[in-house]
Structure 1
């Protein structure tokens, strides 16, 4: 509605408020510290996305203990993701896409065990993807597109059997795609993700071969691994992916012959 100005503090008096959606307006300035007052006994949904907010995420947001959805997409929010966000243990959707966040993804997010959506794409996050992400067994969407993440892809992610979307495009992730045992220690395979629909890891520094176990994921519709350092042959078992709609493996070091 192109609303602007300050968000009135009196919203905090709405003690039975369940949902507050102020998205797609022109609210400027820092996210108000008193926002936590809005999250009273019944508050479940807070959307401040698509505005003009700046500044950092207030640590007071951790007081929203009943919150299930927190969306701050497409603002100009900077600073780090507060570690206390992990205390929102019934949170189901966390959306920080399209901001100016820096620092690392806090390990404390692994405490939000009910998370189904985690989207921190299009920021300036750096460091490793925390191993604890693998504890989010209810996660269906994990999107960390276009940040500055480095290091290997944690094998723990392949414990999340419910996951449908994994999007790591445009980082500096390295290491090999998991294809089975890792030094005999972590017996997890990407092929166990039987609900996976989209796997996007292009524009990274991933090495090794494309594991055959990927071709057992019959639900897979989008597989994008281009612009990495993958090598070896592409198995004929790729023909098992009968639901495939988009396959992108260009600009690697794959060898062999295409057979049509």
Structure 2
């Protein structure tokens, strides 16, 4: 049975509880309709979970008054319209999760104002434009499955806290910045299913904490170093298939006891595979 959010809030006495509410969890409650403007009165709210309902429309502008808000999850709904620019004024926010909705437009530049933002997950929407040039102190940036264009900003190379970067399934072009190899905290790097060209920066294969690298289905060229993965002691998955990589097979592939998946198909590699994989 679907429940109207406005009726639910009336039932719990929203107006009399405004000063008391710090956490509101509406996860998977079959709620429908739009988010009421009254949400802007929940000025003590720190955590708001709207995940897995059937909310529609955009988030009301009145929510910009939630200056204490640190956690916002609106995943798996039917939200639409542009990503609200007022998100950038919620200076305490640490987690923003908008995945699996229908948000459009570009990512507001105001996002770069949030120095406390740790996780930004906007995957599987219809967001257009380019990756923001400034991403602050993010630990996780997920923009998978949108309509992003342009190149990968060089500023990503300076995001020293970044551990998870997933910008796959977009229409990004140009080269992979050499500086990405300087992100020594990187654990998960996925740039597959784009239109990237040029060679793979060898510096990526020296990120000792990385477990997953996926560059499948681009137009990457160049060769692979013989010492591929020598600096990757915990690498579990390496996906380089469907590119234009050429040259001999790396000689060190048999040295990696943690490697579970190696995908090099549909390239121009030749020569024997050395040792056992």
Provide TM-score, normalisation by structure 1: 0.84
Partner of 2:125: 75
Instruction: Indicate if the aligned counterparts of 2:89 and 2:110 stay in contact, CA closer than 8 A.
Output: no
Deviates more, 1:22-31 or 1:220-229: 22-31
1:13 to 55, 62, 65: 65
Aligned to 1:193: 232
* Aligned match of 1:228: 267
8 Å contact 1:155–1:178 — kept in the other structure? Answer: yes
- The counterpart of 1:124, out of the listed 157, 171, 179, is 171
Map of 1:211 onto structure 2: 250
Q: CA deviation at 1:35?
A: 1.4
Does structure 1 retain, via aligned residues, the 8 Å contact 2:206–2:230? no
Give the gaps of 5 or more residues in structure 2. 1-52
Deviation at 1:24, TM superposition (A): 1.0
Alpha-carbon distance, 1:12 to partner: 2.4
The answer to whether structure 1 residue 138 and structure 2 residue 150 are counterparts is no
CA contact (8 A) 1:191 1:215 kept: no
Distance across 2 between alignment mates of 1:210 and 1:44: 43
State the partner residue of 2:97: 47
Which position in structure 2 is the counterpart of 1:257? none
Q: Which runs of 5+ in 1 are unaligned?
A: 181-188, 242-260
1:177 corresponds to 2:224: yes
Aligned residues: 225
**With CA pairs under 8 Å and 6+ residues apart, which has the higher RCO, 1 or 2?**
1
CA distance in 2 between counterparts of 1:218 and 1:44 reads: 36
Which residue matches 2:32? none
2:210 and 2:232 in contact (8 A); partners too: yes
* Pair member with larger Rg: 2
Contact 1:21-1:47 at 8 Å conserved across structures: yes
Correspondence for 1:34: 86
